[in-house]
Structure 1
Amino acid sequence: MWFDSSPPCTTCHGPNLAAAQKGLNLATYDDILAGAGRQAGQAKGEDILSGGNWEQSILYQQLITRKMPPGRPPDSPAKGPEIYAGH
């Protein structure tokens, strides 16, 4: 969590693709790479990382424009959470 009362991303974007918002599982790095709009058993979906161009990616834009997570307070960090690869 990156601000008080922040729900973990996997609350809405978890391993059960049938229940995951936008067919997006953020539980593991491989799942993030698999993208959004997936259905159960589907290996690849829409690229949310823009081929490695982070600042142009859908995921980055959702965080920077304060669309995610729901209930994000106006005084939360403007650039979103710090995300560490491999942690």
Structure 2
Amino acid sequence: MEFQREPGRIYAEEEGRVIAEVTFPDRDGAADIDHTFVDDTLRGQGVAGQLLRAAADQIRAEGKRAGATCSYAEIWFERHPEEADLLCP
């Protein structure tokens, strides 16, 4: 799946509608991963994990730290302790 990227957002569209998305707006100099969405037709295919990986890579490339207020993002970071250095203390 090919994702579109813009500041604070990575997403995929199909026929003009968003089918997958993660948002991470800047809040006080850190990215807050606050929303992850995957359309029902894509569930169980690892798309949410791909979105979080892309977001983590983009946040890291921008030299920022991240917070995870989205419940899926919290779980993703728990499952990927190698990314813990990205999280704000």
Q: TM-score when scaled to structure 2? A: 0.27
Name the structure with the higher helix share: 2
